[in-house]
């Protein structure tokens, strides 16, 4: 099927009119030389893909590319210091333990908390599942209690709470999403009401990009003595995220969205709360005394880290966070905000394309999901991929929010610190050709 020349030309003219190119960073972002240096630290960005096209990676909301300092730190550890941590007194064991706990200390500082409040997990999904497991074992959740989530949640912050409700006889309720893609908090006091034991919510939607009003939710929860759980997977690499200042009780986060390795993340919990919870999975390392009849357990965070922890990955993750700190996360946020403005302005010039969620860059991340009239997201994604531009298609592990916005799936472009206006131009050009190519105009 071929595109209509007239329709395609009209779209290209509209796109050109919407753009105001500049090499000067907006509001404290990065200049051209700085972005070139940042990009040089991501080897994957230099490769070509379909038919020799230069890769433009706009899928950081799914998983970000890995920064060289993170890979170098993990490699150096593996080559020169590899040994089991918290076991043995030989030189390598001591070095490995020191480096692993140093990574914990560094990451805790990055998130504004204490090292004994940070439990290593397999990622955000693992952290939330660990928390729901130990809450179930603790007996804190009883039949008739209320658990609250939101309609905007990734399945990883929805399904575990569903399962906890089923296992305990608790009631599951949720804060709804409005047609603007933001949480509707007008009736929050009727949802977070007496008997509510937990409120779990994302810092930003992985579909709409909308930032959550954390203070309002935390305030409503505190009024009822309710625990708060923050999914910070989407925000942690894109803006300063300080769990203590946000005043949440628990939080979950992943390395692979923060330019670090896969297979590692963390559960933050206030130390007094962690100390009052039983272990989840059990085994070696997290024990004090074991007899044939009973076991006593280490204090947090060791209590929640049985077996061999992901120490190589944790060291790589800490290096990625140190690198982000060196950039200044306020400047990272400014750079990505400018890219998000540019992206949304360009999308607005393409007929038949609807942004799911806020159409302006205020109070949102550069996570932009689209409904394209007459074209299935998978078809759109394949066409855009043909131009060398990587985007995400599908429901993004967030079916309820898609359903709330009248769609079953979408095409999603998401920006990271390494992206440029030129890459967004390539995406917009390909996007403008999708409907003509499939005869949907």
Mean pLDDT across the stretch 353-365? 98
Q: What is the pLDDT, as a whole number, of residue 361? A: 98
Distance separating alpha carbons of residues 348 and 297, to the nearest angstrom: 57
Architecture, CATH, for domain 69-326: 3-Layer(aba) Sandwich (3.40)
Backbone angles phi, psi at 438, to 5 degrees: -90, 10
- CA–centroid distance for 272 within its chain: 26
Count other C-beta atoms under 10 Å from residue 5's C-beta. Answer: 9
Q: What is the mean pLDDT of residues 321-339?
A: 98
Q: Is 83 exposed, middle or buried (0-12, 13-18, 19+ CB in 10 A)?
A: middle
Structural contact between residues 267 and 303, judged by C-beta atoms closer than 8 angstroms: no
pLDDT at site 400: 98
In the numeric block, which tokens belong to residue 44?
A: 């994957």
| Residue 56, H or E segment | strand 56-57
Report the pLDDT value the prediction gives residue 347, as an integer from 0 to 100: 98
Note whether 340 and 364 are within 8 A (CB).
yes
**Helical segments of 41-192, H only:** 68-80, 91-110, 124-138, 159-168, 188-191
Burial zone of 140 (CB within 10 Å; 0-12 exposed, 13-18 middle, 19+ buried): middle
| Confidence band of 7 (pLDDT split at 50, 70, 90) | very low
Indicate whether 24 pLDDT > 50.
no
What 3-state class would DSSP assign to 24?
coil
What is the H or E stretch that residue 422 is in? Answer: helix 421-437
Give the pLDDT confidence score for residue 12 in this predicted structure.
45
pLDDT of 232 higher than 80: yes
Q: Which of 287, 397, 409, 440 is catalytic?
A: 397
Give me the pLDDT at residue 438, please. 98
| Length of the chain, in residues | 441
35/360 Cα distance (integer angstroms):
24
Give the pLDDT confidence score for residue 23 in this predicted structure.
40
pLDDT score recorded for residue 8: 42
> β-pairing, 118-121 with 295-297?
unpaired
Q: How far is CA 165 from CA 67, 86, 344, in A?
A: 39, 36, 39
What average pLDDT does range 2-23 have in this prediction? Answer: 41
The first and second tokens of residue 277, run together, are: 């919870």
Q: Answer yes or no: is pLDDT of 157 > 60.
A: yes
Round to whole Å and give the CA distance between 184 and 174. Answer: 10
- Among 277, 155, 176, 177, CA closest to 227: 277
pLDDT at 101: 98
- Give the model confidence (pLDDT) of 47-56 as tens digits: 999 999 999 9
What pLDDT band is residue 6 in, cutting at 50, 70 and 90?
very low
| pTM recorded for the entire structure | 0.94
Residue of 234, 230, 236 lying closest to 248 (CA atoms) = 230
State the pLDDT at residue 1: 37
Average predicted confidence (pLDDT) for the chain: 94
For 26-58, give one letter per residue: b (16+ CB within 10 A) or e. eeebbeeeebeebbebbeebeeebeeeeebbbb
Cα gap 199→321, rounded to integer Å: 28
User: How far is residue 414's CA from residue 209's CA, in Å, rounded to a whole number?
Assistant: 9
Where does the pLDDT of residue 25 fall: very low under 50, low under 70, confident under 90, or very high at 90 and above? very low
So where are the chain's domains?
5-60+328-437, 69-326
**Tell me, what's the pLDDT at 20?**
38
pLDDT of residue 274: 98
What mean pLDDT do residues 210-231 have? 98
Question: Known catalytic residue: 321?
Answer: no
- d(C-alpha 230, C-alpha 283), whole Å: 28
pLDDT in tens, 118-131: 999 999 999 999 99
A 10 A CB-CB count for 422 gives 10
Please report where in the chains the tokens 């670090």 appear, as a residue: 260
Q: What SS3 string covers 378-398? A: HHHHHHHHHCCEECEEECCCC
Which CATH code for domain 5-60+328-437?
Answer: 3.90.1150.10
- What whole-number distance in Å separates Cα of residue 210 and Cα of residue 202? 10
pLDDT by residue (tens digit) across 160-189?
999 999 999 999 999 999 999 999 999 999
Identify whether the C-beta of residue 268 lies closer than 8 Å to the C-beta of residue 243.
Answer: yes
Judge whether 351 and 435 are in contact, CB under 8 Å: yes
Please state, in angstroms and rounded to a whole number, the distance separating the CA atoms of residues 271 and 249: 9
């Amino acid at each position: 099927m071929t595109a209509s020349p007239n329709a395609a030309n009209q779209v290209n003219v509209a796109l050109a009119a919407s753009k105001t190119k500049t090499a000067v960073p907006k509001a404290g972002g990065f200049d051209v030389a700085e972005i070139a240096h940042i990009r040089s630290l991501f080897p994957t960005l230099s490769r070509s893909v379909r038919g020799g096209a230069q890769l433009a990676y706009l899928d950081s909301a799914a998983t970000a590319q890995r920064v060289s300092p993170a890979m170098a730190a993990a490699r150096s550890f593996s080559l020169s210091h590899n040994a089991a941590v918290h076991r043995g007194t030989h030189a390598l064991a001591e070095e490995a333990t020191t480096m692993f706990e140093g990574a914990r200390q560094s990451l805790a500082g990055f998130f504004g908390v204490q090292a004994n409040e940070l439990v290593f997990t397999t990622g955000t999904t693992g952290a939330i599942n660990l928390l729901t497991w130990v809450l179930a074992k603790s007996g804190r959740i009883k039949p008739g209690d209320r658990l609250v989530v939101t309609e905007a949640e990734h399945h990883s912050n929805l399904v575990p709470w569903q399962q906890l409700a089923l296992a305990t006889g608790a009631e599951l309720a949720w804060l709804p999403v409005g047609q603007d893609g933001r949480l509707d908090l007008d009736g929050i006091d009727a949802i977070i009401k007496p008997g509510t034991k937990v409120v779990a919510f994302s810092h930003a939607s992985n579909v709409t990009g909308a930032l959550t009003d954390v203070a309002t939710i935390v305030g409503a929860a505190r009024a009822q003595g309710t625990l708060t759980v923050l999914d910070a997977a989407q925000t942690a690499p894109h803006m300063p995220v300080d769990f203590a200042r946000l005043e949440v009780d628990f939080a979950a986060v992943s390395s692979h969205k923060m330019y670090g390795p896969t297979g590692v993340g963390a559960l933050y919990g206030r130390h007094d709360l962690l100390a009052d919870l039983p272990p989840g999975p059990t085994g070696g390392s997290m024990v004090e005394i074991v007899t044939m009849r009973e076991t006593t357990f280490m204090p947090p965070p060791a209590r929640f880290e049985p077996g061999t922890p992901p120490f190589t990955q944790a060291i790589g993750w800490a290096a990625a966070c140190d690198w982000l700190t060196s950039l200044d996360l306020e400047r990272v946020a400014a750079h990505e905000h400018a890219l998000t403005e540019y992206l949304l302005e360009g999308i607005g010039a393409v007929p038949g394309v609807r942004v799911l969620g806020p159409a302006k860059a205020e109070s949102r991340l550069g996570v932009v999901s689209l409904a394209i009239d007459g074209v299935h997201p998978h078809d759109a994604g394949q066409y855009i991929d043909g131009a060398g531009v990587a985007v995400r298609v599908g429901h993004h592990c967030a079916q309820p929010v898609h359903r709330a916005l009248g769609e079953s799936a979408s095409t999603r472009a998401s920006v990271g610190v390494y992206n440029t206006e030129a890459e967004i131009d390539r995406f917009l050009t390909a996007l403008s050709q999708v409907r003509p190519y499939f005869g949907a105009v």
